Amino acid sequence: MLDLTFIRSELAAHYDLAPDPDLAAKMSPIYAKIDKVVTPFDFATFAPYIAAINALKAERNAAILAHNYMTPEIYHGVADVVGDSLQLAIEATKVQADVIVQCGVHFMAETSKVLNPSKIVLIPDMDAGCSLAESITQAGIAEMRARYPGAPVVSYVNTTAEVKAASDICCTSSNAAQIVAGLPDETVIMTPDKYLAQNVAKLVPHKNIVWWDGSCIVHEQYTAEDLREFRSWNPGTRIIAHPECPPDVVAESDFSGSTAGIIAYVEKEQPEKAMLVTECSMASNIAEANPAVDFVGPCNMCPYMKKITLEKILWSLHSMETPVEVDAAVAEGARQAVQRMIDLSQKLAA
């Protein structure tokens, strides 16, 4: 666990991190992207961190890859690339900088390292895990293979490199149905998200999909009854759910897609009112670009994603902590599973 007292004293010795309204005023193009969701007072506290991170990024020749669930000050203030898991994996292969700072959870940093092993990949907090990635090990994959002999294993990218290496191919929430449909086999094992698997099973009814019993602690909290109740109070609201939600929640929604799919849907459809049935930062990050859309309803916070803060990103670049390492043989197996996914999804999209 990070020693924040030590980190704060070290950072204070090297940077002027006091809230600075004048510096904040100079960063008005950044603030203009988040002024609906961040107060001027808070932005004055973020500004010195944003300035220090962006200066260090240039000094270290680093690129920041940030997931769509990062907070707005990270997403709009310091990220070089933002996206869903698939976009970040593809972008990781293209990074020219020497250092990648992965602002997301650990499996995402591992994926970047596996796909671009010559880079130093840093994660600002090693404890940024994922309930799905923690729900299965290689032994779980072996158990599923023994139960369904000959069936290919499609593992969600929300898994460790060891699990990816033990799988035949990966998928993300944006390509899961296409990957499963694109395989020649009738029975397909999907791990570790039972809800993603059940949602895919509805989209690919001619396949016999079997699944591991994992779930996302953020998306499993939503219920179809809550959505029905919300809709009855707020008629006309477009409900948009991530496919890690239970199938009855997805059935209750107007659209389901990956985080990038959700953003694209909102941008295209411009609904008057939208409820994003996913992590809270999603609506905050796209509020400014979609001024005609009123984002309504409850959201759930991912405690793992929220471990990544501006302070920890600055520390990461300052100290070059913590590099993500993956055993070479495991990395090669994982790389093949992720590369098969990228190749198949690009082929199917062509």
Among 49, 195, 211, 304, binds ligand SF4 (CB under 6 A): 304
Helix H or strand E segment including 127: none
Minimum distance from residue 132 beta carbon to ligand SF4 (Å): 5
| Distance between CA atoms of residues 127 and 33, nearest Å | 29
Residue numbers 221-260 binding ligand SF4 by CB under 6 A = 244
305 binds ligand SF4 (CB under 6 A): yes
Nearest to ligand 13P of 244, 252 (CB atom): 244
| Distance between CA atoms of residues 40 and 137, nearest Å | 45
Minimum distance from residue 97 beta carbon to ligand SF4 (Å): 24
Stretch that binds ligand SF4, among 44-52, 139-147, 249-257, 302-310 (CB under 6 A): 302-310
- Partner touching 217 among ligand 13P, ligand SF4, none, CB below 5 to 8 Å by kind: ligand SF4
- Partner touching 84 among ligand SF4, ligand 13P, none, CB below 5 to 8 Å by kind: ligand 13P
Residues that bind ligand 13P (CB under 6 A): 68, 84-85, 158, 172-173, 216, 242, 244, 258-259
Q: Where are the alpha helices (DSSP H) in 4-125?
A: 4-14, 21-26, 28-31, 40-60, 72-75, 85-92, 106-115
Minimum distance from residue 285 beta carbon to ligand SF4 (Å): 14
Nearest to ligand SF4 of 220, 311 (CB atom): 220
Q: CB of 310 within 8 A of CB of 46?
A: yes
- Partner touching 311 among ligand SF4, ligand 13P, none, CB below 5 to 8 Å by kind: none
| Distance between CA atoms of residues 206 and 344, nearest Å | 19
Backbone angles phi, psi at 237, to 5 degrees: -75, 130
| Distance between CA atoms of residues 304 and 217, nearest Å | 10
Minimum distance from residue 52 beta carbon to ligand 13P (Å): 28
Minimum distance from residue 215 beta carbon to ligand 13P (Å): 11
Helix H or strand E segment including 283: helix 281-286
Q: CB of 176 within 8 A of CB of 244?
A: no
Element counts in the chain: helices (H) and strands (E): 17, 12
Total length of the chain: 350
| Distance between CA atoms of residues 60 and 259, nearest Å | 30
Minimum distance from residue 134 beta carbon to ligand SF4 (Å): 9
Nearest to ligand SF4 of 56, 163 (CB atom): 163
Cα–Cα distances (Å) from 236 to 38, 91, 223, 232, 274, in that order, read 27, 37, 19, 9, 9
Nearest to ligand 13P of 71, 158 (CB atom): 158
| Distance between CA atoms of residues 326 and 329, nearest Å | 8
302 binds ligand SF4 (CB under 6 A): yes
11 binds ligand SF4 (CB under 6 A): no
212 binds ligand SF4 (CB under 6 A): no
Among 216, 262, 337, 338, binds ligand SF4 (CB under 6 A): 216
Nearest to ligand SF4 of 273, 306 (CB atom): 306
What residues line the site for ligand SF4 (CB under 6 A)?
105, 130-132, 158, 216-218, 244, 279, 302, 304-305
